[in-house]
Amino acid sequence: MRVVVVGAGISGTMTAYFLHRAGCEVTVVERESGAADATSFGNGGVIGCTQVEPWAQPGLPLKLLKWIGREDAPVLVRVGQIPHVMGWGRRFLARCNAADARDALAVNVRLTLYCLEQFAALREREKMTGEEYDLGLNGAYKLFFTPEAFAHAREFGKELAGLGAPVEALDSRAAAEREPALGPIGDHLSGVLAFPKEEIGDCRKFTRWMADRLQRAGVRFLYGTGVSRFRVESGRVRAVDTHKGPLDADAFVVAAASWTPGLLKDIGIRVPVIPVKGVSITVPATPWEGALQSAVIDYSRLFGLIRIGDRLRVSGSAEVTGHNTVPSPARCKALVDSVLEIFPQFAACMKAGPPLYWAGLRGNSPDGVPILGRTPVGNLFLNVGHGPEGWSTSCGGARLVAAAVTGERPEISMAGLEYSRFH
C-alpha cells in the first residue's frame, strides 16, 4: 500500500515509522527544510502523565475572563483572534465541567500509558541507548506552594493513580531526597506530586534521528514541499497537490498539527484544532551548581523547568494569536521571572551565553484529546490535535493511526480518540 503522510513533526515521522514497519511504501511531505522544525522543535521535553489533564476544566472560563488584556497572563486570548476561534471556543467552554474533564483525562491516561510502553519497546527494537535524544529517567515533579493547592493535588493524584498512572504525593523533605535541587525551596513547598516513570528527552533530536533512519530504510521524505490541496473523487482522496506537482497514493495521513483545518476545509473535513502559542527558553545547565536533574512543573506560576542533557529548558505560556511563531519578549520574561522567584540560581544559566528563545504552536482540540484515525473520507486519516502533550502521545498515537490505515486491530480502544466524536 502506498501512503502519503503530510507533516514531518514527531506525529508524522512516527506514523511513517509504524507504516513502514507494516510494509507500506511511505512518502512524507514536509514544507520545512527538515524534520521537527515546527512544534516538535523546542517543546517542554516531558513524556508521560504530567501532561494528561485537559485544559477544559470547571474553573477555567472565569480565570480566562480575569486574564483578558494582561500581556503576562499564563493564558492570553488576543481579542482579534476571537472571531476565528468562536466555534472551537464554544465547544471548549461546553467541556469546562467536571464530568467531561474526567472523561478526557481517562482517555489521555490510556493513550499515554500505551505510548510509554511503545517508547520502551521502540528503544529496544531500534537498539537506542537514549543518548540519541538526551533521554533522562529521573522523573518529574509537580510543585504546590499552599496546603490547599497540595490537598487538591493529592485528590487529583488519587484519581490519576486510579486510572493506572504512576504518581505519588510527597512532602517537601521526601521530594528533596529524590531531587536535591528542591532542597533550598523546601520551606516554601507544601508538597509535590511525583511522577517517577516520566521520561524526558529532546523531541527534535529524536524525530530527526528517526527520520534519518527511515530515509536510510527507503522511506521518501520530500522536504521543502508544501501541500496545498486534497483532490477527492468518488469519496476518496486521489492525490494531494504540492507546489512541485501532484502526489497520488492509496491512503493519506494528515499530521500537520494546527495547519490541518486550513488544509482540509475545502473537502468538507472540519477539524476542530486551533494554534495555541507556547514558548521555551534553553540555556546551559553547568553554571548552576547542583542544578535540577529531572523536570519540575509549577502549577501556580504555570511553567515547566527541565533538564535535557547538559541544558535546562523552561517552557510554558499559552497565547491564542493565530499562526504567528515569534516568541513574545514580554511572555518570555514573565516565564523567566517566575523561574527566578523559585530558583534564583537559574540567573547564572541565563547569563552563560545567549539563551535560545523559541515559540511553537500547540494544535489544541477542544476536549484536550488528540484526534486519531479515520475520517468520513475512506482513505484519509488524521494524527492531529495533540496540543500540549504531543511528544507524550506520539509513539502510541502513531501506532494507532498506522493500524487504522492498514486495517489492523488497534491494541487499545479508540473510544474518545476519533474524529467522529465531534460530528
Ligand X SMILES: Cc1cc2nc3c(=O)[nH]c(=O)nc-3n(C[C@H](O)[C@H](O)[C@H](O)COP(=O)(O)OP(=O)(O)OC[C@H]3O[C@@H](n4cnc5c(N)ncnc54)[C@H](O)[C@@H]3O)c2cc1C
- Judged by CB under 6 A, the stretch of 127-135, 256-264, 346-354, 409-417 that binds ligand X is 256-264
- Largest Cα–Cα separation, the chain: 67
Least separation in angstroms between residue 417's CB and ligand X is: 14
d(CA 353, CA 136): 24
Q: How far is CA 376 from the centre of its chain?
A: 26
CB-wise, 177 or 266, nearer to ligand X?
A: 266
Site for ligand X in 207-236 (CB under 6 A): 226-227
Determine which residue in the list 19, 20, 31, 176 makes contact with ligand X, applying CB under 6 A. Answer: 31
Cβ within 8 Å of residue 397, ≥6 positions away: 11, 14, 111, 115, 370, 372, 383, 386, 390
Site for ligand X in 289-308 (CB under 6 A): none
CB-wise, 173 or 333, nearer to ligand X?
A: 333
Here the cell at position 98 is: 467536571
CB-wise, 52 or 101, nearer to ligand X?
A: 52
Determine which residue in the list 25, 32, 117, 250 makes contact with ligand X, applying CB under 6 A. Answer: 32
Is 275 a binder of ligand X (CB under 6 A)? no
CB-wise, 50 or 172, nearer to ligand X?
A: 50
Rg of the Cα atoms in the chain: 21
Cross-strand partners of 245 = 242
Cross-strand partners of 371 = 384
Contact 109, 164 (CB under 8 A): yes
Contact 44, 335 (CB under 8 A): no
Contacts with ligand X by CB under 6 A: the residue count is 42
Least separation in angstroms between residue 300's CB and ligand X is: 18
CB-wise, 176 or 320, nearer to ligand X?
A: 320
Is 391 a binder of ligand X (CB under 6 A)? yes
Residue with cell 523559585: 342
Cβ within 8 Å of residue 190, ≥6 positions away: 144, 145, 146, 147, 149, 150, 172
Least separation in angstroms between residue 398's CB and ligand X is: 9
Least separation in angstroms between residue 147's CB and ligand X is: 27
Site for ligand X in 36-55 (CB under 6 A): 37-40, 43-47, 51
Is 74 a binder of ligand X (CB under 6 A)? no
Closest CA to 257 of 370, 144, 103: 370
Is 390 a binder of ligand X (CB under 6 A)? yes
Site for ligand X in 102-121 (CB under 6 A): none
Here the cell at position 336 is: 523567566
Is 247 a binder of ligand X (CB under 6 A)? no
Is 257 a binder of ligand X (CB under 6 A)? yes
Question: H/E element holding 400?
Answer: helix 394-406
Kindly report the length of the chain.
Answer: 423
Here the cell at position 243 is: 507546489
Least separation in angstroms between residue 80's CB and ligand X is: 21
Residues that bind ligand X (CB under 6 A): 6-12, 29-32, 37-40, 43-47, 51, 203, 226-227, 255-257, 259, 263, 278-280, 315, 360, 362, 386-392
